[in-house]
Amino acid sequence: MPASYAYLGPEGTFTEVALRTLPEVATRELIPYVSVQSALDAVRAGEAEAAFVPIENSVEGGITTTLDELVAGTPLTIYREVLLSITFALLVRPGTRLSEIKSVTAHPAAQPQVRNWLKKHLPDVVWESAASNADGARLVQEGRYDAAFAGEFAAARYGLEALETGIHDAENAQTRFVLVGRPARPAAPTGADKTSIVVWQRDDHPGGLRDLLGEFATRGVNLMLLQSRPTGAGIGNYCFCIDAEGHISDRRVAETLMGLKRVCLQVRFLGSYPRADAGPTEVRKPLPGTSDEEFASAADWVTRCQDGRF
């Protein structure tokens, strides 16, 4: 297994910053790729141990390229997730004043986060999209545009300076990234985990999705995300990417997955991994009757009944 992590490049983006929060990167080579797809393909091809890509953004929603790669094609697994708060800096060539800025650039995904700021401070500026925020910074360095929105950390790399920092239209703007690898035994449960799956319904009838979600509710498993994705079979045909609280080694989660496997057309397991939003002290207490101990004791009881010892 090569000791390298692929990630969505180029260098100097929020993705790299998020990736560097993982302790183990100290011992990995980090290799930028030009697209989510190419980074994931590097993992599938065995060229990288894992790939680090954005999966969801609290302003824009799911990153569909990432979701669709996980939904279809050779199975991959989520090993870890990272949450990063997103605020922008306005990077300019040293000496540039706000009043001199006629053109700005950034990745299109940055736009919803800086729109109001622009309207207020630079209402007449021309916006040009860049392939990435880092690439926007590079284009400012080269003199093609006057300013770029990017992470403050990108200033040093491109010889720019931050004219303004902490720019964000939406409070609590966050991006969620995942570290994705080939199928492997999930990391041990921490007590604050989540499990990701994709489900395809058998058919479509009133109450169908309600009953599918009943598989979770009956076992007291809370949903964290329900994201529909088209199956490609035409408008009206969807599968669902679901994140649920708990670890596949939790019995309530395992039994829920069993239930889904039985009643759904297809279920794809995407991994169980620690929740990025919860430390060990914030573990949600399971509902009465849904702890591992209660599952085990209920199973024992049924076995005793089956054996006539009750």
Whether the ω angle into residue 10 lies within 30 degrees of 0, i.e. cis, is yes
Contact of 153 with 12, CB cutoff 8 Å: yes
Nearer to a copy of itself (CB atom), residue 31 or residue 209 = 209
Find the shortest distance in angstroms from Cβ 121 to a copy of itself: 20
What tokens were used for 58?
């609290």
- Residues 137, 112, 31: CA angle, nearest 5 degrees: 45
Q: Closest distance between a copy of itself and the C-beta of residue 99, in Å?
A: 26
Q: Of 109 and 155, which CB lies nearer to a copy of itself in the complex structure?
A: 109
Choose between 91 and 181: whose C-beta lies nearer to a copy of itself. 181
Beta strand 4-8 with 29-33 is parallel
- Closer to a copy of itself by CB, 138 or 194: give it: 194
Instruction: For the CB of residue 255, give the shortest distance to a copy of itself in the complex, in Å.
Output: 7
Question: Least distance to a copy of itself from the beta carbon of 65, Å?
Answer: 9
Minimum distance, C-beta of residue 290 to a copy of itself, in the bound complex (Å): 7
Cα(122)–Cα(117) distance, integer angstroms: 8
Give the nearest distance from C-beta 171 to a copy of itself in angstroms: 8
The gap between the terminal CA atoms of the chain, to the nearest Å, is 52
Cβ nearer to a copy of itself, comparing 118 with 162: 118
Nearer to a copy of itself by Cβ, of 42 and 254: the residue is: 254
And the tokens for 126? 């021309």
For residue 228, count other CB atoms closer than 10 A to its CB. 13
Helix axes 64-71, 36-44, angle to 10 degrees: 30
Q: Which is nearer to a copy of itself, 97 or 285 (CB)?
A: 285
Please check whether residue 217 is in contact with residue 289, taking contact to mean a CB–CB distance below 8 angstroms. no
CB of 108 to a copy of itself, least distance (A): 9
Q: Report which residue type is found at 270.
A: L
Q: Which of 73, 34, 290 is nearest to 198 (CA)?
A: 73
Nearest to 221 by CA among 290, 294, 295: 290
